[in-house]
Chain A
Amino acid sequence: MMSISKPKPINPDTPLTLIKDIQNNVNNITVMCIVLEVNPAVQLKDNHEVRTVKVADSSACINFSVWDEPGSFLYPGDIIRVHRAYAIYFRNCLTLYVGKNGEIEKIGDFIMTFNESVNMSEINLNAPPPQPPPGSNGNAISNARRTGVGKQNMKPNTFKGNNGKSGPRSQMRPERK
C-alpha cells in the first residue's frame, strides 16, 4: 500500500551463499554483496539493456549480469541482496544472474568489507559448455548486437526475471529449470 508495489515477500532469513561457494549451475541462492563496479549498459534491440556489475562479499567477487531497470539504480558502494539468484558460465566466466522471480534489493551502502582478490569470474578455459545446445549459447550477446539475431522474440521484461517465457534471457543464457 505504500510507495511501490513489491513482489510477494521473499523470506529475508534464507541462508546466504558466500560468493566463493558459488559454482556453475547453482540455483535459487541468496547472495549479499557490495557493488564494486557498474559497467556501462549494453543496449540490446527491443529496449533491453544489460549491465555487468562486479560485486563482492567477504569471501570473493563475481560478475553479476543485471537486466534493464534495476541496473540503472545500482551504484558502486551499494550493498545489495540478490534473491533467487543462479550462476552459470557465460563466455567462460562464471556469472551471477537474478533468477526467475528473483529480485535485487538494496539494503545499504558502504558499510561492508569485501574480498576482491578472489575472482570467481576469472576466465576459465575449461568451462563447461553452456547448457542448452547451439542456438541459445553464450555467444548470443555479441550475436544479438552484431546481427540482431534474437530480437524477434524479445519481450518487454520486468526486472524480476522473465516469468519463464522465452524472453531475451533465453537468448542470452540458458533458462533455468
Chain B
Amino acid sequence: MTAQQQQLKLFTYSVIERKDEIEEKYERCYQTLQSLTTGLNDREYHDALTSHISKDKSQEEVISLGLLTAVLLDTKNADKIYRDLTLLSRDGLQSVISHLQQFTLEKWSRLLEPPRKQLLWLVREMVRNNIAGVDNLCWNLMRNAAGGDISTTNIALIEYLLDLYQDHRKWLERFPWLIASVVYSFLRFIEDHSSLIPLRNREVAFTISLLRDRFTDCLVIGRDLIRLLQNVSRIQEFETLWKDLLHNPQSLSPSLTNGIIQILETRTSRRFLQSRLTPDMERKLVFFTSSVRFGHHKRYQEWFQNKYLNTPEAQSLRSDLIRFIVGLIHPTNELLCSDIIPRWAVIGWLITTCTSNIALANAKMALFYDWVCYDPKHDNIMNIEPAILVMLNSLRIHPTVTASLLDFLCRIIPNFYPAQSERIRNGIFVSLKQILDKRVLASLVPLFTNPRIDGELRAMIQNTFREFCDPPAVQGDPIKNDDIMDNLLTSLKDELISENDDISFSDEEPETSPKKNIIIENNSVPAIKTIPLKVKLKEKNVLPLDLDKEALQTLTKELRLETETLYFEKDNERKCEAMEKIVQLIIQDDDIYPEMLAALGSCISCLLKNQIEEKILPSVLNDDALEDSIGKPIFVMFRSLTQFAEEDSRRLQLFSLLAEMRTHQTRIGYLLLYYLQVSSLINNNADRKVNGIKSHVYKEFCETQEVELNECLLSDLQLCQEDDTSMFCWLIPAVYDQFSKIVVGNEDFLHLVVSTIDGSQIQEIICLILQGKLSMFRSDAVPSLATSSLDWETMEQYFFWQLVSAHDIDIKVILSNITKLDYNNHPETLTSILLTLKKEKPTLDLLKPILCREIKPLNDQFVISVISSWYLEHGDNVANLVSQLLISRCPVVSPTKRKRGQGQGLGSRGGVAPPSAERILGHMERIRSRGTCPVLFRAEGMQKALQIAQAACTDTQRMLFSNLFQLLEEDEPHTPTTNRNSTSGKRGRKAAPTFGNSNKKNAKSVIKDLSDSSEESSEEEEVIKPRQTKKRRKINAVASESD
C-alpha cells in the first residue's frame, strides 16, 4: 500500500495544504482503472476496459483520466499505457488534451518532478503522432517557461521546448501562429540566457532559422517583434538579420514593402504580450489591477516582487509586465472612476524598483513602444495613456521618474530610428495630440514646463515639443476673423464640459490643474489659435469612450443621427428638437424591435450622462427657475409621456425605452418624479386631476420595469437622496401627497427621510406639516413606527419624534407601547415621550399605562420623572389621581374569590390594562426613596389610599413597602413594625384578598427590584411563611372596616 501511495503522487503539498478536487478526481479515476485491471494480462486488460466503456458512456472519461494518471505516474509502462489510451479514446484524445491544458494552466507549478517529466514526454508523443490540438497545448506549456527566470526547472522546460520544436520542425511549420509565438518567446529567452552560452547559441540558431525561413509568419506579432529584436541586436546573428531588415527587408518577406516602419505600425496582437506572463503572473496582475484599491496596494506589490522580481535576472521581466499592462489591461470607465489602483501607479512601481540600467531602459522603451508609430485609426488610446499619466503623476513624489521618462521621450525621436526620425517624431506628436483630444490631459503645459524638472531638460522639452509647451501655438491654419469669437466661445464651453469628461481619469492630481490654466490663457490671449480648431475636430469625431458603439450601430440611420445630435450639438434647443424627433420616431414605428429600444436606451443614457448627472434642482425655487430646470432633452421625453392619453398604446414604447434607460442610468427614476412634480406645479397648482394622471405615469413606469411601485419609489428616492439631498427634500411633500397610499405611514420611507434631512430641512418639513400641506403618517401607524424606530440612529429617532409631535398624535396612542420600552436601550424614545407627557395634563388614562411600566431596572427614572414633573406642575391633582387609581386597584372582594377576582389586573405584570396595586406601590416606593416630591404622600387622598393598600397587602408586600407605609400620618394607630398585629385590632372584619400573586417566588422578585427593601428581604421571608394563613384572616378584617 505504501508503495502505491508513493506512486500516486502528482502534486506537492506543504503541511498546510490539502489535496484539491482535481487531484481527488484523478485519484478516483486511477483507482477505478486499477480495480478493473489488476492481475489481468494484456489481452484481458484491453477487453476489460473496452467492455467497461461500452457499458456506460460516462465511464469513457473515467478510464481516459485513469489512463492519463497512469501515464503520469508509471514511468516504466508509460509507452504501453499511452498506446491503450490512443486505442480506447474515441475523440482523438481531445478530452485528454483538455485535461492537460488544465494541468499546464493551473497546476503546473504544483506538479511534482516525475509526473512533470511524464507530462512532457506525453506531449512529445502526441506531437509525434500529430494529435489535433497539441499545438495549443504547446503554447500553454510555453507560457510556463517564465521570462527572467534561470532556475534549473525553468531552463529544463525551455531546453525541452527547444528540443521538441527542433526535432519536430515539420510539425511546427504547420502552425504559423505557433511559429510566431515560438519566435517571440525564444527571443525573450535569448535575452535572459546571456550567461548560458551553449543553450543560448542553440536558441539563437533555431530562432534565426525560423525568422529567416518564416519571417512572413512572424509579422503577425506586430511591433513588439522589433522591440525584442532590438534587445538581442548585439548578438552577431541578429546583427546580420538587422542589416537585412534595414537594407533589404523584402529579402526576408516579400510583403515587407515598407520595411521596419511597416512592422512598427502594426499593433502587437495581445496574444503575444500575454504569452510572456505565466498563467499565475497573469492571474495576479489582473487581480491586482482590477480589485486592489489604491492606497492598499503596498503589500500586493511586495508579494508580487518577492515572488517574481527579486532576482537579478528577473529584471527583464519588467518589460514584459509593462507591455502586458499597457496592451492588455484596459480598465473600463467604471474602474477608472473607482479607487482601484490605476495602471500608471503599477507601472511607476515597476520602473522605480528596477535596479539594472539596461532593464530600466528597456522598461521605458516598453512603456513608450506604442507611441513611436502611433496611429489613431489602429491603435488604442489606452496603450499610450499609461506613459503620460506615469509622467504626470510621478511629478510630485518621484520627479526624477518623470524627468527620466521625459528625457527618454525626447531622445528616442532622433535616436530610435535615425533614418526615420521624422516618422517617429510624427508618431509621438500624434500620440500627444490624441492624449489632448481624448482629454486624458487637457494640456501638456503643466507637465512640460514644470519647475520640478531641471532647466536643461526643460529646454530640451521646449525644443522638442514646442507646440505643446506653448498653449498659444503659432502653427495652424489662419481662421477668418468672424470665426474667432465663435471658436473662442466653443473652446471655453468645451473646457467647462471637459471638467466632466475628465472625471474618468481619477488620477489627476488636484495640484496640477491644467484645465484652469488653459481657460485663463484662452481668455488672456484672445488671438487666432489652433486650439479651437482642434476642439471642433474632436467634437465632430469623438463619441464618449464608454459609449456602446455596437448599440449605436444597431440603430436605424435616422435614429442614430438624432441620437448623435444629442451629444454633439451644443445648442440646447436643437438637442431638445432631436429628442423630440427620437420620440416621434419611436412612437410612429409600431413594431420597433426590443433590441433597438435597448440599444437606444443605452446610447441615450450614455450620451446624456453629463446632463443627467449634473445638479438639476435650481438653487432659487421659483416657477421660472423650475421651468428652466426641466428644459433639457431628457425632460422632453418625459413631457411626451405625460401628453399621451392613458389608453394610448404608443406610449408603451416610450415606457420600455425609459425602463431600458433606467438600467443604464438609475437616476432616470427620480428625474421622472421631479419632472412630474415640477410640471404639475407649473401647469396648475390646484388641479388635482392633473396630479392624479401624472403619478399614474410613474406607476406605469414601474409596471414596465416589472418592479413594485413601492420598491421602485423607495430605490429612486434613495438614489435621489444620495445624489442631491435638496432635491430629495423638495420631492418629499409631493411624494407623500401623490403616493399617499404607499408612502404615508410606511416605515422605510420615513426612515429614509429622517436619516437624510438636516436641521433646516426638518424645519421645512415640520412647517409644511403644521400648515396641513404634508402628512407623513396617521396616528394608527405611530405605535408600529415607534417600535421600528428603536433601531435607528439617535438623530433619526429625534427627528422622528419631532415629526410625531408635529403631527398632533394623541398621546394615548403613543403610550400604548410604553411598557415595552427599556430605559437603558431606548433612551431617545423614552425621552421624547417623557417630554410630551410633561406637557400633558395628568389624567387617569395617562397614568394607567405609565404605572404599568415595570419597576426595574433600578436606574429607570421614567415614572419617577413623569409623576414628579406633574406634581410640580399640577400639585395635589396628581396625588389624587394616583390614590384614586391605587384604591381602585385594591378591590374588596369576598375571600372566596381571592386570587382571580379582578382578572388580569391583579397580576404584577401590568400590560395595557390598569396596573396592579403592587406595581403602583412599587413606583410610589421608588418616588419616595428618591425624595423628589415628599409632600405628595401627605395629600389626603394619598394617605387614604395608602391605608387601604396597606390593609390589602400580604405580609410580604407590607414588608416590602414598609417604608412607604411609614409615611402614613402619625395619628394612625400602627407603625410598620407592629402592623402585623395592631392593624387587625383596629379595623376590620371583611376579607380583602391579596393583590398580586402572593406566592413566595413572586414576592422575591419584587423584592429584588426594590433596592431599598432588599436588606430585609431574606430575613423577612422566613418570618412570613409560617404565619401566612393566620395573617390573612386578620387583614381581611381590616379591609372590611374601611368600607
> What is the interface of chain A, defined by CB distance below 8 A to chain B?
1-4, 6, 36, 69-70, 73-74, 76-77, 80, 103-106, 109-111, 113-114, 116, 159
B577 surroundings in chain A (CB, below 8 A): none
A2 surroundings in chain B (CB, below 8 A): 5, 8-10, 19, 23, 27
Say whether B304 faces chain A, with CB atoms less than 8 Å apart: yes
Beyond A73-B16, A77-B303, list 19 extra A-B contacts (CB 8 Å): A1-B27, A2-B8, A2-B9, A2-B27, A3-B11, A3-B13, A6-B19, A73-B14, A76-B302, A76-B303, A77-B300, A80-B16, A105-B17, A110-B287, A110-B303, A111-B284, A114-B296, A116-B299, A159-B15
A6-B23 CB under 8 A given contacts A36-B299, A110-B300? no
A37: min CB distance to chain B, Å: 9
Mark interface residues in B274-309 (1 if CB within 8 Å of A CB, else 0): 000000000110010001110010011011101100
Report the separation of the CA atoms of residues A1 and B10 in the bound assembly, to the nearest whole angstrom: 12
B306 surroundings in chain A (CB, below 8 A): 76-77
A105 surroundings in chain B (CB, below 8 A): 16-18
CB nearest neighbor in A for B24: A2
- Is the pair B15, A3 in contact by a Cβ cutoff of 8 Å? no
Which residue from B8, B16, B23, B307 sits with its C-beta under 8 Å from A106? B16
- Is the pair A111, B287 in contact by a Cβ cutoff of 8 Å? yes
A18: min CB distance to chain B, Å: 17
B287: min CB distance to chain A, Å: 5
For window 224-252 of B, CB contacts with A under 8 Å fall at: none
B8 surroundings in chain A (CB, below 8 A): 1-2
Which residue from A70, A73, A77, A111 sits with its C-beta under 8 Å from B283? A111
B376: min CB distance to chain A, Å: 36
A79: min CB distance to chain B, Å: 11
Q: Which of A6, A36, A80, A111 has the most CB of B within 10 A?
A: A111
A3-B19 CB under 8 A given contacts A73-B14, A111-B284, A113-B292? yes
Report the separation of the CA atoms of residues A116 and B292 in the bound assembly, to the nearest whole angstrom: 12
- Is the pair B15, A116 in contact by a Cβ cutoff of 8 Å? no
Report the separation of the CA atoms of residues A159 and B884 in the bound assembly, to the nearest whole angstrom: 73
Q: Which of A4, A105, A110 has the most CB of B within 10 A?
A: A110
- Is the pair A106, B287 in contact by a Cβ cutoff of 8 Å? no
- Is the pair B15, A73 in contact by a Cβ cutoff of 8 Å? yes
Say whether B151 faces chain A, with CB atoms less than 8 Å apart: no
Query: Can you list 23 A-B contacts (CB < 8 A)?
Result: A1-B8, A1-B27, A2-B5, A2-B23, A2-B27, A4-B13, A4-B15, A6-B18, A36-B299, A70-B16, A73-B14, A73-B15, A74-B16, A77-B306, A104-B16, A105-B17, A105-B18, A109-B303, A110-B300, A110-B304, A111-B283, A111-B284, A159-B16
B300 surroundings in chain A (CB, below 8 A): 77, 110
Report the separation of the CA atoms of residues A129 and B8 in the bound assembly, to the nearest whole angstrom: 51
- Is the pair A110, B9 in contact by a Cβ cutoff of 8 Å? no
A1 surroundings in chain B (CB, below 8 A): 1, 4-5, 8, 27
CB nearest neighbor in A for B304: A110
A6 surroundings in chain B (CB, below 8 A): 18-19
> What is the interface of chain B, defined by CB distance below 8 A to chain A?
1, 4-5, 8-11, 13-19, 23, 27, 283-284, 287, 291-293, 296, 299-300, 302-304, 306-307
A114 surroundings in chain B (CB, below 8 A): 296
B787: min CB distance to chain A, Å: 26
Report the separation of the CA atoms of residues A74 and B15 in the bound assembly, to the nearest whole angstrom: 10
B32: min CB distance to chain A, Å: 14
- Is the pair B15, A69 in contact by a Cβ cutoff of 8 Å? yes
A7: min CB distance to chain B, Å: 10
Which residue from A70, A74, A103, A116 sits with its C-beta under 8 Å from B296? A116
A66: min CB distance to chain B, Å: 10
CB nearest neighbor in B for A68: B15
B20: min CB distance to chain A, Å: 9
A3-B9 CB under 8 A given contacts A80-B16, A106-B14, A110-B303? yes
User: What 3 A-B pairs have minimum CB-CB distances, sorted nearest first?
Assistant: A77-B303, A73-B14, A111-B287
Report the separation of the CA atoms of residues A111 and B23 in the bound assembly, to the nearest whole angstrom: 21
Which residue from A4, A70, A76, A104 sits with its C-beta under 8 Å from B299? A76
CB nearest neighbor in B for A5: B5
A109 surroundings in chain B (CB, below 8 A): 303
CB nearest neighbor in A for B18: A105
B17 surroundings in chain A (CB, below 8 A): 105-106
Report the separation of the CA atoms of residues A36 and B300 in the bound assembly, to the nearest whole angstrom: 10
B304 surroundings in chain A (CB, below 8 A): 110
Report the separation of the CA atoms of residues A15 and B27 in the bound assembly, to the nearest whole angstrom: 28
- Is the pair A113, B291 in contact by a Cβ cutoff of 8 Å? yes
Report the separation of the CA atoms of residues A4 and B8 in the bound assembly, to the nearest whole angstrom: 12
CB nearest neighbor in B for A66: B16
Report the separation of the CA atoms of residues A69 and B17 in the bound assembly, to the nearest whole angstrom: 13
B349: min CB distance to chain A, Å: 15
B584: min CB distance to chain A, Å: 49
A71: min CB distance to chain B, Å: 9
A110-B284 CB under 8 A given contacts A1-B4, A76-B303, A105-B18? yes
CB nearest neighbor in B for A10: B18
CB nearest neighbor in A for B7: A2
Report the separation of the CA atoms of residues A1 and B300 in the bound assembly, to the nearest whole angstrom: 36
B27 surroundings in chain A (CB, below 8 A): 1-2
Q: Which of B18, B27, B292, B307 has the most CB of A within 10 A?
A: B18
A4 surroundings in chain B (CB, below 8 A): 13, 15
Q: Which of A103, A105, A106 has the most CB of B within 10 A?
A: A106
Report the separation of the CA atoms of residues A86 and B14 in the bound assembly, to the nearest whole angstrom: 24
Q: Which of A3, A70, A74, A116 has the most CB of B within 10 A?
A: A3
CB nearest neighbor in B for A69: B15
B302: min CB distance to chain A, Å: 7
A73 surroundings in chain B (CB, below 8 A): 14-16
B284 surroundings in chain A (CB, below 8 A): 110-111
B296: min CB distance to chain A, Å: 7
Report the separation of the CA atoms of residues A160 and B19 in the bound assembly, to the nearest whole angstrom: 17
B19 surroundings in chain A (CB, below 8 A): 2-3, 6
Report the separation of the CA atoms of residues A77 and B306 in the bound assembly, to the nearest whole angstrom: 10
B307 surroundings in chain A (CB, below 8 A): 77
A117: min CB distance to chain B, Å: 9
B978: min CB distance to chain A, Å: 49
CB nearest neighbor in A for B292: A113
Report the separation of the CA atoms of residues A74 and B287 in the bound assembly, to the nearest whole angstrom: 21
A8: min CB distance to chain B, Å: 12
CB nearest neighbor in B for A115: B296
- Is the pair A70, B303 in contact by a Cβ cutoff of 8 Å? no
Report the separation of the CA atoms of residues A116 and B11 in the bound assembly, to the nearest whole angstrom: 33
B526: min CB distance to chain A, Å: 51
Report the separation of the CA atoms of residues A1 and B28 in the bound assembly, to the nearest whole angstrom: 11
A55: min CB distance to chain B, Å: 12
Report the separation of the CA atoms of residues A70 and B11 in the bound assembly, to the nearest whole angstrom: 19
A166: min CB distance to chain B, Å: 24
CB nearest neighbor in B for A3: B13
Report the separation of the CA atoms of residues A111 and B279 in the bound assembly, to the nearest whole angstrom: 13
A161: min CB distance to chain B, Å: 14
B377: min CB distance to chain A, Å: 37
Report the separation of the CA atoms of residues A69 and B14 in the bound assembly, to the nearest whole angstrom: 10
Report the separation of the CA atoms of residues A69 and B9 in the bound assembly, to the nearest whole angstrom: 22
Report the separation of the CA atoms of residues A55 and B144 in the bound assembly, to the nearest whole angstrom: 30
- Is the pair B18, A70 in contact by a Cβ cutoff of 8 Å? no
B22: min CB distance to chain A, Å: 12
Report the separation of the CA atoms of residues A70 and B17 in the bound assembly, to the nearest whole angstrom: 10
Report the separation of the CA atoms of residues A6 and B16 in the bound assembly, to the nearest whole angstrom: 10
B18 surroundings in chain A (CB, below 8 A): 6, 105
Report the separation of the CA atoms of residues A74 and B303 in the bound assembly, to the nearest whole angstrom: 13
Report the separation of the CA atoms of residues A88 and B209 in the bound assembly, to the nearest whole angstrom: 68
B24: min CB distance to chain A, Å: 9
Q: Which of A2, A69, A76 has the most CB of B within 10 A?
A: A2
CB nearest neighbor in B for A9: B18
CB nearest neighbor in B for A76: B303
Q: Which of A1, A80, A116, A159 has the most CB of B within 10 A?
A: A1
Q: Which of A77, A116, A159 has the most CB of B within 10 A?
A: A77
Report the separation of the CA atoms of residues A93 and B330 in the bound assembly, to the nearest whole angstrom: 43
A39: min CB distance to chain B, Å: 15
